[in-house]
A and B are shown apart, each in its own frame.
Chain A
Amino acid sequence: MASEKPLGSCPAYSYHTLLWDTLRLICTTTAVQRKNAGASGPEKYTEAFIKKQIEEFNLGKRHLANMMGEDPETFTQEDIDRAIAYLFPSGLFDKQARPLMKHPTEVFPEQRKIQWGEDGRPFHFLFYTGKQSYYSLMHFPNMTKSVSLLLTYIINLAGSRWLTKIELEEMLVEKMSDDDYSRFIRLLEKLVALPCADLEEKYIQKFSKEVPAQLQKVLIEPLQYDERGVAFSTGEGRRKTASATAVVYDNGTGKITVNGIDILHYFPVLQDREQLLFPFQFLGRIGKHDMVCTVSGGGRSAQAGAIRLASAKALRSFVTEKEVEFMRQAGLLTVDPRVKERKKPGQEGPRRKFTWKKR
């Protein structure tokens, strides 16, 4: 690998050139964009340019693998990301602002190649409509006429959705209007409703995406039993900077202990005790469970909120699935995302500006 490029005898020089080559690859896009900021329209990358970028990327990948002491043949994109994060550590919050090294097809947006030949005649027959890929899509010629209407079944579109307008534009590399997009979706719906839809399932699936979020199921842990035979379950919760663990025991009298102290002494304020009461009251199990919690960090309210979340999570094991769903809708099982907002420079606080003085 070292023979591909003539390197100086000094190892520092080789390191330097390797680094700067990869750096060039990384920073080219930004440099190019900066120079042509005032240019009209988006950047036009020629095919030759893209090909050269791909070559340089592969070369740089091999150099990087060599630098990190890994095998260049089996150097994946994940390894590249890790290596770059290691070599160029960045404290920037925005992940997209950090140094990155990716395949040029991911970095440079897809662009239309020249649509006509040397004689000026366009390749595609629908070129003069202006939206050739859109109309070619709408005009769907591959509809095989199926004879048997008996084998009809509806394609399962339950856990999927159609592509959004932006995703479709990306796919076709062509702008379209909202009207066009809605016409396209209507066409797809009609296609799905037709009896012979199952044969074209593969084609239709190109335009649908699975919605994975609903399919995530949270595992509810089963009850555990301690040496006395009493059922108990644990839960953890966080709020702001406080974190709490709660162990809820069955067959109790409603006694709650926090860090070894009774709640009446640990939370003298009524509001905190009401927060602790909420999960039990919601399920109607106020005097039925005992609870032992440990909590640390945060302030008085944050600790109360953390214990509330922990106890709600622990109570899931004692309760039917329907009630778990009710709890989730009541907001007992959601982690509260509110944290202290960062102070910005030029302002006194996160939102408060300095006193405005007229002169």
Chain B
Amino acid sequence: MLRSLQGLVCRSLKLDHGCALHTAARGGLSSVSSQDVPAENLRAVFHTSESDPAKHTEQHEGRLYNIPLEEVKAVFPHGLPYRFQQQIQTFNEARVMVRKPALELLAYLKGSNFAHPAVRYVIYGERGTGKTMTLCHVVHYCSRQGWLVLHIPDAHLWVKNCKELLQSSYKKDRLDQPLQASVWLKNFKSSNERFLQEIKTQKKYMWGKQESTEEGRPLGEVVEQGLARVRSASDAVGVVLREIKQQSHRGSFRLLVAVDGVNALWGRTSLRKEDKSPVSPEELTLVHNLRKMVRNDWSGGAIVTTLSQTGSLFKPSSAYTPQELLGKEGFDALDPFVPIPVPNYSPGEFESCYGYYLERKWLQHEKAHTEDGKAELRFLSGSNPRQLDRLAGPL
């Protein structure tokens, strides 16, 4: 009905994970016509013109800040929730809400000592509260600061629905996933171009019998190799990760390892080998290398991870704490970490989100503009960002 109509007219947005974190403040577009004067007032309340996450403080809490669209394409080739991407397309702007968990994380990152081993942060919370968007906020900050960002959009994609599983040439009992690895390499390349030229390999790597990469070559060549020869893509990923890890403590760059859905690394997979026996995560090259990345035996950066129940396998839908989702193995591997809970919208944040929808004329229903409508929305969504977004869709 309404939903399909909207899909025809303008693609309706669906936020998979996380809330409607909207980045506010159009710097150049704030000169407005007379009709937007009341909208300006609204904007003043809900938006900030501060588009640099480094300068976000408590006074910006609950407000939405804008990320310019070019930056979105550069920083987030992958990693934004699907619904949020649709919202960006509909509203023609990317607005992220500044929330307390993100501010907390940013404060930790600003104050962390990079000579010490990397600190691990685990963002957790119930479904649809904004974990992925918090992670994206942090990634944006780090990329603005010039860090090398290793962003794995959803680790669950690596442990399920894999069409091709090749036996690894490097280690006999491991399995390769060429498709996933090549996709990730492509996105990684587009987001971290300059680093790939700067970082040089420290060892010679053999790809099969003929090809090899010499020592001292830029890392970009390894990535090209992985993209060209899809068979060795997973190994290329492993090489990239290892090189970056080894060189990060030198101090020439800071490294941020951002993993969404980190509980996939220690759960079960839904993949099967040819003899129908189940595959455990250690047998996958990608997962194995990623686990090494997430260990805190390197310094010069930080590891920010998110737990996600939505894509997880064999976990009940009511599980959201680190204990439940990581299991004993994962918890021990990640321990010690800094837990960062992400709650539902506070009343102020709810007002902000609602005001944004009103301002962008997303809520078309006449009752939605009233106080009663707002109370109804608040009740029915339970102040959960995802529910609010889904509710506001057909309205």
Partners in one complex: yes
Instruction: Name the CB-closest residue of B to A261.
Output: B318
Report whether B376 and A277 are in contact in the complex, using a CB–CB cutoff of 8 Å.
Answer: yes
- With both chains docked as a complex, state the minimum distance between the C-beta of B387 and any C-beta of chain A, in angstroms: 7
In the complex, the answer to whether A273 meets B380 with C-beta atoms within 8 Å is yes
**Does B372 make an interface contact (CB < 8 A)?**
yes
Asked if A264 and B372 make an inter-chain contact with CB atoms under 8 angstroms apart, the answer reads no
Name the A residues within 8 Å of B382 (CB-CB). Answer: 262-264, 273
Q: List 25 A-B contacts (CB under 8 A).
A: A254-B375, A254-B378, A254-B379, A262-B382, A263-B382, A264-B382, A264-B384, A264-B387, A265-B318, A270-B380, A270-B391, A273-B382, A277-B376, A277-B380, A280-B379, A281-B372, A281-B376, A284-B372, A286-B372, A286-B375, A286-B376, A286-B378, A286-B379, A287-B378, A287-B379
Determine the distance from Cα of A262 to Cα of B391 in the docked complex, in whole angstroms. Answer: 18
Q: Is the interface of B mostly helix, strand, loop or mixed?
A: helix
Contacts of B376 in A (CB 8 A): 277, 281, 286
Contacts of B387 in A (CB 8 A): 264
Interfacial residues of chain B within 352-395, with CB under 8 A of chain A in the complex: 372, 375-376, 378-380, 382, 384, 387, 391
User: How distant is A292 from chain B, measured CB to nearest CB, in Å?
Assistant: 16
Shortest A280–chain B CB gap in Å is 7
- Residues on the A chain within 8 Å of B375, using CB: 254, 281, 286-287
What is the size, in residues, of chain A's interface with B at 8 Å between Cβ atoms? 14
- For B318, list chain A residues within 8 Å (CB): 265
The residues of A that contact B384 with a CB separation of less than 8 Å are: 264
Q: How far is the CA of A280 from the CA of B318 in the complex (A)?
A: 28
8 A-B pairs closest in CB distance: A264-B382, A286-B375, A273-B380, A277-B379, A286-B379, A287-B375, A254-B379, A264-B384
Beyond the given pairs A273-B380, A273-B382, A281-B375, 12 more chain A to chain B contacts, judged by CB atoms under 8 angstroms and listed by A's residue number, are A254-B375, A254-B379, A262-B382, A264-B387, A265-B318, A270-B380, A270-B391, A273-B379, A277-B380, A280-B379, A286-B378, A286-B379
| Residue A70 CB within 8 A of the other chain | no
Nearest-neighbour CB distance to chain A for B179, whole angstroms, equals 33
Q: What separation, in Å, do the CA atoms of A262 and B379 have in the docked complex?
A: 12
Q: How far, in angstroms, from A265 to B319 measured CA to CA in the complex? A: 11
Q: How long is the Cα–Cα vector from A284 to B376 in the complex, in angstroms?
A: 10
A274 at the interface (CB under 8 A from B): yes
- A254 to chain B: which residues have CB within 8 Å? 375, 378-379
Beta-carbon nearest neighbor of A277 in chain B: B379
Q: Nearest Cβ distance between residue B324 and chain A, in whole angstroms?
A: 14
A249–B173 Cα distance when bound, in Å, is 62
B-chain residues with CB within 8 Å of residue A263 when the two chains form the complex:
382
Q: What B residues does A273 contact at CB under 8 A?
A: 379-380, 382
For A274, list chain B residues within 8 Å (CB): 380
Closest-by-CB residue of B relative to A285 is B375
Residues of A within 8 A of B391 (CB): 270
Give the residues in chain B near A277, CB-CB below 8 Å.
Answer: 376, 379-380
State how many angstroms separate the Cβ of B36 from the closest Cβ of chain A: 31
Chain A residues in 8 Å Cβ range of B378: 254, 286-287
| B159-176 residues at the A interface, CB under 8 angstroms | none
Tell me the bound Cα distance from A254 to B387 in angstroms: 17
Complex-state Cα separation, A254 to B372, whole angstroms = 13
Q: How far is the CB of A277 from chain B (nearest CB, A)?
A: 5
Q: Which of A94-148 contact B (CB under 8 A)?
A: none
Q: What's the least CB distance linking B246 to chain A, in Å? A: 45
CB of B318 to closest CB in A, whole Å = 7
CA of A225 to CA of B172, assembled, Å: 72
Give bound CA distance, A64 to B387, whole Å. 69
Taking CB atoms, residues of chain B closer than 8 Å to A281 are 372, 375-376
B-facing residues in A209-255 (Cβ within 8 Å)? 254
In angstroms, Cα B372 to Cα A284, docked, is 8
Complex Cα spacing A262 to B127, Å:
13
Least CB separation from B390: chain A residue: A270
In the bound complex, what is the Cα–Cα distance between A287 and B350 (angstroms)?
14
- From 111 to 148 in chain B, residues with beta carbon under 8 angstroms from any chain A beta carbon are none
User: Nearest chain A CB to B384's CB is how many angstroms away?
Assistant: 6
Shortest CB distance A343–B (Å): 35
- Min CB distance, B368 to chain A, in Å? 14
